[in-house]
Amino acid sequence: MTLIRHTIIMRVALAALALSQLAALRAQDSDIALSGAESLLFLPQATRQEAFANVAALSATRTVTASESPLALTPAPKDWSDFSYSVEGENYTLADYFQRPASRGLIVLQGDDVLLERYGAGNTEETRWITFSVTKSVTSLLIGAAIKDGYIESVDEFVTDYIPRLKGSAYEGVRIKDILHMASGVAWDEDYASPTSDVAIAGAYNGPQLTEYLATLPREAEPGTRFNYNTGETNLVGELLRSALGNNASSYLQAKIWRPFGMEHDAYWLLSSEDGVETGGCCINATLRDYARIGRFVLADGVLPSGERVVPEGWIAESITPSQGFEGYGYLWWLYDEGAFSARGIFQQRIFIDPARDLVIATHGNALNAVDDEDAKHTDAIIMALRAAVDAI
């Protein structure tokens, strides 16, 4: 499946991380010369290394507080000296992978055993790295939690039940399930090369600005029938979640998952503005180990160490059931073979989850390009090779 559909949330960072918010980076590197149109996403790769690791110093965020009793991960390192992976017929080693500037962190968990944990130069186990669209899958988990808590009755309810500003628009008759599947049937142009596309105009919108824009769009397919990657609608999922909760998403994540499951470090969720709102589709900033713990939470079927269930029974299975519009996508999760699935973000952020192997592979990445480049090929290849290598351990 192509990753170009998954480019995601570009304009969120465009708006939130503008030139004025990069002053800290400018102070660190006098050779940085930025035009007023540049943002986090379009900085040179070496500069992005600092930005991706320090979003809380560059923009408004809301803290998601860590647990006082972190979920223990047991070091169980394996001998990876003979490990290799292949890209376009050429073999590479782990050392080769970490020679690439894109490779900022890699962790492999089987159960709670850490089989491999390694960082690129400058990154450590305490680096809070930007997730980009990995956040979408976390928001999907929070929708499940909101259903369990009774804030949302079911995914078969209509979007307009929670966002009445969309009544009378093409969103009439669109279910929550449809927007989780990226299949509302509402027209949306995700062309990043066009300054007149919907994503160029409205990809960073939240709140009334978002719903006012979406209400102008026409319908082009029956709800639930056609997959169309839509940054605006992932922001809409966040809008719906906050509307149902009557609260911000960061506090809910902290209360339902981050603290009770045992996340080790504070995370930071990028806001649309000072005292603004989180974007449902982007930009939780978290350590690699806590990326991996998100995977462990999912493999635990959304059940806390205390035994308390956070999401409805069967929610995870439902979330990774192929949608009608595209068999490779569930409720904001990308689907693979053998029942595996993944949260994915641009510049190669991943949480790959393989229930059959009780396996989580997570990455921090700073790829040269957002999607579909050599770094993407290396990330895909090393994850699949590690998955196969675990079978031989």
pLDDT of residue 26: 34
Q: Please, what are the domains in the chain?
A: 4-73+104-154+246-392 (3.40.710.10)
Phi, psi of 13 (to 5 degrees): -70, -30
For 114-130, what is each residue's pLDDT tens digit? 999 999 999 999 999 99
Q: Which residues of 254-282 are buried (b: 16+ CB within 10 A; e: fewer)?
A: bbbbbbbbbbbbbbbbbbbeeeebbbbbb
Q: Above 80 in pLDDT, residue 14?
A: no
For 315-351, what is each residue's pLDDT tens digit? 999 999 999 999 999 999 999 999 999 999 989 999 9
Signed CA dihedral, 218, 222, 226, 230: sign only: positive
Q: What is the pTM of this model?
A: 0.89
Assign 289 to helix, strand or coil: helix
For 73-84, what is each residue's pLDDT tens digit? 999 999 999 999
For 276-320, what is each residue's pLDDT tens digit? 888 888 899 999 999 999 999 999 999 999 999 999 999 999 999
Q: Above 90 in pLDDT, residue 199?
A: no
DSSP secondary structure string for all residues of 9-70: -HHHHHHHT-GGGGHHHHHH-TT----TT--GGGS-HHHHHHHHH-HHHHS-EEEEPPPSSP
Convert 220-288 into a string of H (helix), E (strand) and C (coil): CCCCCCCCCCCHHHHHHHHHHHHHHHCCCHHHHHHHHHHHHHCCCCCEEEEECCCCCCECCCCCEEECH
Averaged confidence pLDDT in the chain: 88
Q: Confidence band (pLDDT; 50, 70, 90) for 193?
A: low
First to last CA, the chain: 29
Distance, CA of 213 to CA of 227 (rounded, Å): 20
pLDDT of residue 272: 81
Instruction: Please tell me the number of Cα atoms within 13 Å of 161 on its side-chain side.
Output: 14
pLDDT of residue 192: 62
Looking at the DSSP bridge assignments, the partners of residue 110 are 113, 359
pLDDT of residue 329: 97
Phi, psi of 68 (to 5 degrees): -80, -15
Q: Above 70 in pLDDT, residue 95?
A: yes
pLDDT of residue 27: 35
Which tops the pLDDT comparison, 279 or 157?
Answer: 157
| Cβ atoms 280, 236 nearer than 8 A | yes
Q: 382: Cβ–Cβ under 8 A, 6 or more apart, which residues? A: 85, 92, 97, 106
pLDDT of residue 196: 86
